[in-house]
């Protein structure tokens, strides 16, 4: 029997699950992930708020652009004090977003289209309307310790009571709130209405695992885990005292969270163990139920060594995608190429063997990529996101270059903005990045057509929208699609990475086996430069343009001289051999 016949026989007799084994394990590697903020994606019932049916109606768009996995910000029942991150029932759908039936239809369509569905998992806190909190306030048996309760400090002379420590909420002011009914303080790291769950209480750990299983049974492919470094706080000492956090020296406003070094409320050691337990739960679930690998994406604005611990500890596995906020946190319009390259290579160098890097340039909590890094550099950054080794994660609208919308103080609804004041709110407001998605040039940008959207639509929607850009050969959207196609064709997931700087032009070559290499040139500088890429990367003189920033003079398919390649400022180019 020759080799071909053996292969044919195997293909006919082996079950599909065995043949597809490797893909089932590694589907997320090199993946193109996309974040949907449901409130602002597509409003199907015209009430001004995005919904599940709206998302379902737009899944073909995600398929068209090449997305492999989509994560949804919370869709659960919520009083919406923090727009869904304050959850009053982890297993119910928020009525203004739709019903469980709508969710099931969405999940089924994702499956049909081959798009993996990832849900937001918010383990750190509940809403103060959650039945667990209400029961805990009433000290119902079994629920007494579900949250972090403390009697506070009592002044021996005056008898006056004050919060147990100086800890601050991420949204300003004390992280402790007095509860008159229970006559104790509870901890809240975010709004007052988001009490912190107590992970030293085994029943909490068990209940939250039930939540994961509930959604796994509904067929989701994994979870984006919210604010994981806040999960644990230091426990009171033997006398019941809680230590104050020291000043950070980073700002002078004692109500602002930047005033303190969060050494007792962030990045605590116990956190990692819980993440590893959740990963184990996903693996056990898969063993029992079959199917493809289930993933965790963890959200942590921590220093690099802490981020890397989420991957695992060498023995236990953790999150497959610990969000890499290294660029997001440390760069802005004034960052230079050296900074970008250093941050990128630091992360690449830290990723443990067998794991993958990931790249994030925006989300619903940050100013949008185009506004933060420059509208003229949208393509440059999308090229970077899609051609670096590893996984790429796009926040809705980055693919068309959506920009922030300035929202007045009076119209602001985001809690950290509302907790500040008229002069300072803009720096902390997340409303500007949450305005509705721009689908077309019709009324309300096609987000809906009737009721006023919950946040205003950008005035640039007539040009910056999917419909218009789809029809233009040179558009951010079409470049984005080309990049995903290229990623798949050039097998960039496991390609080698070799880089060099030419002044302020960041270049790198990526190659996977015998597949044609690609070479990327990104001009972060302020002037046009001519460089010899061919000599540097041992490539022929003639190179072909695969993707070029829309502002450049280059067009896709154009043959250029790689020994004398001119790269204008702010322009990104992807080239290959003929």
* Options 51, 299, 414, 431, the catalytic residue: 299
Smallest separation (angstroms) from ligand NOJ to the CB of 542 = 47
Sheet of 572-577: strand order equals: 496-502, 505-511, 518-523, 572-577, 542-548, 559-561
Smallest separation (angstroms) from ligand NOJ to the CB of 434 = 9
Interface residues for ligand NOJ in 369-398 (CB under 6 A)?
none
414 lines the binding site for ligand NOJ (CB under 6 A): no
Hey, what are 262's tokens? 């969060």
Would you call 494 helix, strand, or coil by DSSP? helix
d(CA 561, CA 564): 6
d(CA 94, CA 49): 12
Which of 41, 46, 132 lies closest to 91 in space, CA to CA? 132
- Answer whether 36's CB lies under 8 Å from 396's CB: yes
Pairing status of strand 69-72 against strand 32-36: parallel
Q: What is the number of alpha carbons within 13 Å of residue 489 lying toward its C-beta?
A: 11
User: Around Cβ 202, how many Cβ atoms within 10 Å?
Assistant: 9
d(CA 431, CA 405): 8
* Strand partners for 187: 176
Torsion-angle region of residue 491: left (phi > 0), alpha (psi -120 to 50) or beta? left
- Per-residue x/- track, 316-345, ligand NOJ (CB under 6 A): ------------------------------
Identity of the residue, 122 or 574, whose beta carbon is nearer to ligand NOJ in the bound complex: 122
Smallest separation (angstroms) from ligand NOJ to the CB of 432 = 14
Smallest separation (angstroms) from ligand NOJ to the CB of 415 = 7
- Answer whether 448's CB lies under 8 Å from 46's CB: yes
82 lines the binding site for ligand NOJ (CB under 6 A): yes
Identity of the residue, 122 or 548, whose beta carbon is nearer to ligand NOJ in the bound complex: 122
* Strand partners for 35: 71, 395
Q: What totals of helices (H) and strands (E) does the chain contain, helices first?
A: 19, 23
- Answer whether 13's CB lies under 8 Å from 5's CB: no
Smallest separation (angstroms) from ligand NOJ to the CB of 172 = 13
- Answer whether 135's CB lies under 8 Å from 201's CB: no
Interface residues for ligand NOJ in 206-245 (CB under 6 A)?
226-227
CA distances 198 to 151, 203, 264, 271, Å, are 16, 9, 14, 12
* Options 226, 233, 292, 404, the catalytic residue: 226
Would you call 109 helix, strand, or coil by DSSP? helix
DSSP symbol at 138: T
Smallest separation (angstroms) from ligand NOJ to the CB of 82 = 5
Identity of the residue, 297 or 464, whose beta carbon is nearer to ligand NOJ in the bound complex: 297
The backbone torsions φ and ψ at residue 543, rounded to the nearest 5 degrees and listed phi first, read -125, 155
Identity of the residue, 415 or 562, whose beta carbon is nearer to ligand NOJ in the bound complex: 415
Interface residues for ligand NOJ in 289-308 (CB under 6 A)?
299
Identity of the residue, 27 or 85, whose beta carbon is nearer to ligand NOJ in the bound complex: 85
State the Cα angle at 353 between 352 and 358, rounded to 5°: 60
In the bound state, the residue with its beta carbon closest to ligand NOJ is 85
365 lines the binding site for ligand NOJ (CB under 6 A): yes
Smallest separation (angstroms) from ligand NOJ to the CB of 275 = 16
Out of 27, 85, 266, 359, the only residue in the binding site for ligand NOJ (CB under 6 A) is: 85
Identity of the residue, 198 or 576, whose beta carbon is nearer to ligand NOJ in the bound complex: 198
Is position 226 annotated as part of the catalytic site?
A: yes
The backbone torsions φ and ψ at residue 220, rounded to the nearest 5 degrees and listed phi first, read -75, 160
Hey, what are 396's tokens? 């809705």
Three-class DSSP labels, 386-439: HHCCCEEEEECCHHHCCCCCCCCCCCCCCHHHHCCCCCCHHHHCCHHHCCCCCC
Identity of the residue, 88 or 478, whose beta carbon is nearer to ligand NOJ in the bound complex: 88
Identity of the residue, 323 or 506, whose beta carbon is nearer to ligand NOJ in the bound complex: 323
Smallest separation (angstroms) from ligand NOJ to the CB of 159 = 35
Would you call 77 helix, strand, or coil by DSSP? strand
d(CA 489, CA 262): 45
Would you call 401 helix, strand, or coil by DSSP? coil
Out of 62, 67, 122, 275, the only residue in the binding site for ligand NOJ (CB under 6 A) is: 122
Identity of the residue, 85 or 554, whose beta carbon is nearer to ligand NOJ in the bound complex: 85
Out of 190, 311, 461, 554, the only residue in the binding site for ligand NOJ (CB under 6 A) is: 190
User: Around Cβ 294, how many Cβ atoms within 10 Å?
Assistant: 23
Would you call 338 helix, strand, or coil by DSSP? helix
Identity of the residue, 195 or 572, whose beta carbon is nearer to ligand NOJ in the bound complex: 195
With contacts defined by CB under 6 A, how many residues of the chain interact with ligand NOJ?
9
Smallest separation (angstroms) from ligand NOJ to the CB of 244 = 23
Smallest separation (angstroms) from ligand NOJ to the CB of 35 = 10
Residues within the interface to ligand NOJ (CB under 6 A): 82, 85, 122, 190, 226-227, 299, 364-365
Give the residue numbers annotated as catalytic, written as ranges: 226, 299
């Amino acid at each position: 029997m020759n080799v071909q016949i053996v292969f044919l026989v195997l293909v006919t007799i082996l079950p599909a699950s065995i043949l597809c084994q490797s893909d089932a394990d590694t589907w997320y590697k090199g993946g193109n992930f996309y974040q949907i903020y449901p409130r602002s994606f597509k409003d199907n019932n015209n009430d001004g708020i995005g919904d599940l049916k709206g998302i379902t109606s737009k899944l073909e768009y995600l398929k068209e652009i090449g997305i492999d996995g989509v994560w949804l910000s919370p869709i659960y029942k919520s009083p919406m004090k923090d727009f869904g991150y304050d959850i009053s029932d982890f297993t119910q759908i928020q009525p203004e977003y739709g019903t469980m039936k709508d969710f099931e239809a969405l999940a089924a369509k994702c499956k049909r289209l081959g798009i993996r569905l990832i849900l937001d998992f918010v383990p750190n806190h509940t809403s103060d309307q959650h039945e667990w909190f209400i029961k805990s306030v009433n000290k119902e048996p079994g629920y007494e310790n579900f949250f972090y309760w403390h009697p506070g400090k009592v002044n021996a002379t005056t008898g006056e009571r004050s919060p147990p420590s100086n800890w601050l909420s991420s949204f300003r002011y004390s992280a402790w709130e007095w509860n008159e009914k229970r006559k104790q303080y509870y901890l809240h790291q975010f709004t007052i209405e988001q009490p912190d769950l107590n992970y030293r209480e085994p029943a909490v750990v068990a209940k939250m695992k039930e939540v994961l299983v509930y959604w796994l049974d509904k067929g989701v492919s994994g979870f984006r885990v919210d604010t994981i470094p806040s999960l644990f706080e230091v426990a009171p000492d033997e006398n019941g005292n809680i230590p104050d956090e020291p000043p950070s020296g980073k700002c002078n406003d004692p109500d602002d969270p930047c005033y303190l070094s969060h050494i007792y409320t962030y990045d605590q050691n116990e956190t990692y163990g819980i993440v590893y337990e959740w990963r184990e739960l996903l693996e056990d679930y898969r063993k029992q139920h079959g199917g493809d690998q289930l993933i965790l994406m963890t959200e942590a604005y921590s220093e690099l060594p802490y981020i890397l611990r989420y991957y695992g500890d060498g023995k236990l596995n953790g999150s497959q995608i610990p969000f890499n906020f290294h660029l997001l946190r440390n760069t802005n319009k004034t960052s230079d190429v050296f900074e970008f390259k250093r941050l990128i290579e630091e992360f690449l160098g830290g990723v443990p063997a067998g794991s993958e890097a990931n790249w994030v340039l925006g989300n619903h909590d940050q100013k949008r990529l185009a506004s933060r890094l420059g509208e003229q550099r949208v393509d440059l950054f999308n090229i970077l996101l899609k051609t670096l080794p590893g996984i790429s994660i796009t926040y809705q609208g980055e693919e068309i270059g959506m920009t922030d919308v300035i929202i007045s103080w009076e119209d602001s609804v985001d809690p950290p903005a509302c907790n500040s004041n008229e002069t300072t709110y803009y720096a902390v407001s997340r409303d500007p990045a949450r305005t509705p998605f721009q689908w077309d040039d019709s009324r309300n940008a096609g987000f809906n057509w009737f009721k006023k959207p919950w946040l205003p639509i950008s005035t640039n929607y007539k040009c910056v929208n999917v419909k218009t850009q789809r029809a233009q050969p040179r558009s951010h959207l079409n470049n984005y699609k080309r990049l995903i196609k290229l990623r798949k064709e050039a097998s960039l997931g496991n390609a080698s990475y070799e880089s060099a700087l030419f002044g302020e032009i960041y270049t790198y070559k990526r190659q996977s086996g015998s597949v044609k290499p690609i070479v990327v040139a990104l001009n972060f500088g302020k002037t046009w430069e001519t460089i010899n890429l061919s000599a540097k990367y041992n490539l022929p003189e003639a190179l072909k343009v695969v993707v070029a920033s829309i502002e450049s003079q280059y067009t896709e398919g154009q043959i250029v001289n790689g020994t004398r390649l001119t790269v204008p400022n702010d322009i990104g180019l992807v080239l290959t051999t003929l």
